[in-house]
Amino acid sequence: MEKSLLKEGNQLRKILYESSIFYNDQLIKAEEERDKRIYAMKKEFGDDFNLSKAKDLYHNDQLETFVKNKNVLNRTVVDKNRIVQLIDPIYFVKENTSGPLDYRSHLFAPEKKVFGTYIDTFTFNVLMIWLMSLFLYITLYFEWLKKLIDGAEVIFSKLFSKES
């Protein structure tokens, strides 16, 4: 039994070591990308560009707290034998969808999956606004609202005239 525990412990240690290497590489890549962006901003706006001043001007602490769900007491919960992360939902991309038109996801999702492809939320929202505007334009052009109200009036007049 000790040998199996020792073997499992070594496997766990190996997994943790490989995970730390992977995530350290991810961190290094993210820091390099951040540094490239800062360099590009300094190049665009001049050497007097101050990142901390820009952050003070354009950063909203309350919005960050709300979007990242920082005020939640339990950062994770267990649901159906799965650990669900409650903090930083803005970085979470929903994996499982029930069909090609299942675009439902949490409020601040970075992407939505539609027809099997991921679309960023801003583009998705703009498309939805355009589609709704087009639908409302067609509705007004063909006077569907007037026809609906007239049809409802006919139905209600028949219903109430039979009762009297």
Tell me what pLDDT residue 162 has.
67
Rounded to 10 deg, the angle between the 2-45 and 51-58 helix axes is: 90
As a whole number, the mean pLDDT across the chain is: 89
Compare 104 and 42 and report the one with higher pLDDT: 42
User: E strand or H helix at 120, and its extent?
Assistant: strand 117-120
Using CA atoms, how far residue 130 sits from 18, 123, 134, 136, 140, in Å, is 47, 11, 6, 10, 15
Strand partners, 117: 114
- pLDDT exceeding 90 applies to what percent of the chain? 52
| pLDDT at 88 exceeding the cut of 80 | yes
Mean pLDDT confidence for 33-49: 91
